[in-house]
Chains A and B, each alone.
Chain A
Amino acid sequence: MNKKFSVFLTALFCIFIGGVCLLSLLLPKQEFSPKENRYLQPTPTLSLEAVTHGKFMEQAEDWTADHTVGRDLWVSLKARCELLLGKKENNGVYLGTDGQTLFAQYTAPVDLNRRMDAVNALADKLSVPVYFSLVPDKTYVYPDRLPHGAPLTDDGSTAAAAAQLCSEKVAFIDLYSAPWGQDSFYRTDHHWTTMGAYTGYLTLSQAMHGSVTLMENEPLLESDQFFGTTWSSAGTTWIKPDSIYTWVSDKLGVQVIAYPNGKPVEGQLYVRDKLDTKDKYSMFLGGNQPLCVVKNPSAAQGKLLVIRDSYSDSLAPFLALDYQEVHLFDLRYNLTPISQYVEENGIDQVLVLYSAENFSTDNSVTLMAR
């Protein structure tokens, strides 16, 4: 190696690492990463205690990683390199064969019995009919879009086993064989779309009260810039955004009582302010909350209690077409015993509805019969 070249190579290396260091230190810091939906590590404070306990080092490592200059670009570059390497997954997400659908991976539960025990115990405590259903994972609905041979994260066996484990007091509603369409699930998010929720609604309503309300108008486009959580995980910035639609009009006189902080406030079927944020799906009823009641006095059926996860938020507008009251109850934030709630509110039917993944992974499920 000649002198000139070695000076050049030395300079290249030093300028690169020194440059990243200086730029990262000097450029203004982002406090919140909308893409990752979390607060980034604030500048760690140096104190003797923080150093001896190792807190300073931990925070400093997080800080240097969170605030490396051009962070999002690096993440995207890595995702592209993985694709270039011929890999069909990145960061726990499968890249679909259509090049545009992303599938989050999860593993089936080891303690399904325990989870189903909770559902059965709930039915034992109640004197009203209890329905139980699981929303299939996108991998189950669109196996043809999965990379060839990719291990299915939802092969239907969890739902089948769960159906077997239902006691005679629990009526299992099979959503796995519902007539899913090509647009039933978001490509960049794990949730079902408004059209998917409608498909789910048809099956659920048919099973719960033997009739359905058919939609006659066209879905209304609310946003075509929705990048979901799976997109966030994958770091694949080249994937096109999803569109969010609403279908049931919010001008039909449906009343929403939301309980974002435990106290009733007037809510909306569609909180359109949320469309300006990253988490656009929370437009439906405003996102996670302990309790939300949707009232439609002109409906034919009585009162339905839904033990919810976020899939229910986009389903609720359809259920409101049939039920005078739909109560969406979140086990994670609401500590009221369900039996007490059912009694106090004169609930007629209970629907336990989870996505296959949430039912498999969320531990609050086991608290259902508390």
Chain B
Amino acid sequence: MVFSTPVFLFYFLVLTLGIYYIVPRCWRNGVLLVSSLIFYYWGERSYTVIMFLSTAIDYTHGLLVERCKAKDNDKGARMAVASSVIFNLALLFFFKYWDFLARSLQAMGLTFMPVLNTHLPIGISFYTFQTMSYTIDVYRGDARAQRSILNFGTFVTLFPQLIAGPIIKYKDLGDQIDRRTCSSEKFASGVQIFMVGMAKKLLIANNLGQLWDASLAGTGGASVAGAWLGAMAFSLHLYFDFSGYSDMAIGLGRMLGFEFLPNFDHPYVSRSITEFWRRWHISLGTWFKEYLYIPLGGSRVGHIRKYLNLLIVWGATGLWHGASWNYLIWGLYFGVLLVLEKRFWLDWLGRHRLFSHVYTLFLVAVSWTIFAIEDFGRLGQYLKVMFGLGGAPVVNSAFGYYLLNYLPSLVIACVAATPVGLAVYGRLSAQKKMALSTLLVAGGLVVCTAYLVASTYNPFLYFRF
């Protein structure tokens, strides 16, 4: 199930919240576990078994690690951690990378791995990373092992963040699973964040996604300006889509009494790629830093080793986003840029305000193009047009049409991608804040519902003929 459907908003959420707040406090995790399993089963059906498997295995491994540590058996504890990591990575590898590897090998003439055509269980990249971090946290002493399997299951399956993150580390959530307070203040702030997320997704992201589709399809012929407009549309689409989902997750979490860490911090105001990645998908960046970059030696090693570590981390980050070569290239593209920035021009960028903004946005827009187009032939074509090598005209009438058609949406999106709105809101008096947020929540509910319902509006036009 996804958040932006009538069945989620008007039925699943109503029922879940209703039951959650009616039952005695001690049953709440049970309600969450059951509703999360239904949430996952709704779209993934038999893959729900992975949830049970994941819960059971990581739960036992957590206890095992703790028991070994209590007996000062560091080797045993390490073995348990390794076994849990292997299990989680195997799960991820099998469902996400098996077919990719098999196809790549077949392209080289090696056929010992059959292509299985498995369908990717939704959210697997998110929840395997979460459960993996659990045993590691227990080993490192950052978290205590969870005694209750029900509570642990609640952590693994928690529906607000199950399918699209943020990636929540057990050490940040464990205490809240055991004990959390619910209040109307928390709920109301959850409503605000949820509505912001929903508006981002339904009103801005979907809208600009159409512009990207039109520009990819080259409707009316490709042009250089059109290709850049498309790249800009995709950059904004992706940000509003993803951060919208994160906001909805954070908002839903608050409605249920949880505090999740923020996942995006206005990434497009960054002045370097280094800064961009501190602001974009923060939960993934910190995950890779804590569980891969630092264990590899981090930056406390020689220069060459440090840069190699960075490239490994960014290759992995790329592949985490998808099992295809373009994602690997996309990750390494950032890896190389980050190395170059650290080595050469990060300080210089800091001194050149305007240039650093343009530089970052340019490189990020190019990166999203690599990210968006899996097929190398089409990607090459698109990049050629972008850089004026394909013989396409600089502008054409289709560009004019799309620019004009989407101009208000683009302007709104650009402004909304900066912290300006928040700053203005912050300066308002308490009275005005209340009036504005009432207006935004009520208006947001109405308009989002309109877009939600209209997206399923599906006239059957057999009589077109």
Contact = CB atoms under 8 A, between A and B. Distances in A.
A binds B: yes
Interface of A: 1-3, 5-10, 12-14, 16-18, 20-21, 24, 35-38, 52, 54, 57, 60-62, 64-66, 68, 71, 74-75, 77-79, 81, 85-89, 91, 147-151, 190, 229, 232-233, 235, 279, 281-282, 287-288, 309-310, 332, 358, 362
B72 interface: no
A74 B10 CA distance: 15
A312 B438 CA distance: 56
Given A68-B6, A75-B453, A149 B401 contact: yes
A87 B441 contact: no
B223 to A, nearest CB: 12
Interface residues of B, number: 62
Contacts of A68: 6, 10, 449, 453
B184 interface: yes
Interface in B1-60: 5-7, 9-11, 13-14, 17-18, 42-43, 45
Contact of B451 (A78, A150, A332): A78
Contacts of B109: none
A110 to B, nearest CB: 13
A285 to B, nearest CB: 13
B407 interface: yes
Given A9-B191, A10-B191, A235 B398 contact: no
A91 B11 CA distance: 26
B442 interface: yes
B325 interface: no
Contacts of B45: 52, 54
Interface stretch (B74-82, B305-313, B455-463): B455-463
A17 B13 contact: yes
Given A229-B461, A310-B465, A64 B7 contact: yes
Contact of B441 (A12, A66, A235): A12
Contacts of A35: 459
18 contacts: A1-B189, A7-B184, A8-B188, A12-B438, A17-B9, A17-B445, A36-B458, A37-B459, A38-B458, A77-B447, A78-B457, A86-B407, A87-B409, A147-B401, A282-B463, A288-B465, A332-B465, A358-B465
Given A54-B45, A64-B6, A5 B405 contact: no
Nearest to A89: B405
B220 interface: yes
A9 B460 contact: no
Interface centre among A13, A20, A35 (most CB of B within 10 A): A13
B446 interface: yes
A151 B453 contact: no
Contacts of B407: 86
Nearest to A288: B465
Contact of A190 (B14, B442, B453, B464): B464
B438 to A, nearest CB: 7
B439 to A, nearest CB: 11
A79 B406 CA distance: 15
A17 B10 contact: yes
Contacts of A18: 14, 18
B424 interface: no
B218 to A, nearest CB: 10
A9 B441 contact: yes
Contacts of A21: 10-11, 14
A18 B19 CA distance: 13
A37 B460 contact: yes
Contacts of B10: 17, 20-21, 24, 64, 68
Given A61-B5, A288-B463, A149 B398 contact: yes
Given A5-B434, A64-B6, A66-B456, A13 B461 contact: no
A81 B405 contact: no
Contacts of B18: 18
Contact of B457 (A75, A147, A148): A75
B401 A78 contact: no
Contacts of B442: 12, 16
Contacts of B17: 14
Given A6-B184, A54-B45, A232 B11 contact: no
A335 to B, nearest CB: 17
A367 to B, nearest CB: 15
A317 to B, nearest CB: 19
Nearest to A6: B188
Interface centre among A2, A36, A75, A78 (most CB of B within 10 A): A78
Given A1-B189, A149-B401, A20 B438 contact: no
Going nearest first, the 8 A-B pairs with the smallest beta carbon separation are A149-B401, A151-B220, A6-B188, A38-B460, A78-B454, A65-B456, A74-B453, A9-B188
Given A9-B188, A81-B447, A362 B465 contact: yes
Given A65-B6, A71-B453, A74-B450, A37 B465 contact: no
B368 interface: no
A17 to B, nearest CB: 5
B11 A64 contact: yes
Contacts of B406: 87
A38 B459 contact: yes
B6 to A, nearest CB: 5
Interface in B185-220: 185, 187-189, 191-192, 195, 203, 207, 219-220
Contacts of A8: 188, 438
Contacts of B452: 74
Contacts of B408: 85-87
B294 interface: no
A75 B399 CA distance: 28
B446 A77 contact: yes
A6 B255 CA distance: 12
B400 interface: yes
Contacts of B397: 149
A294 B406 CA distance: 50
A151 B185 contact: no
B447 A85 contact: no
Interface centre among B18, B437, B442, B464 (most CB of A within 10 A): B464
B86 interface: no
A100 to B, nearest CB: 19
Contacts of A279: 463
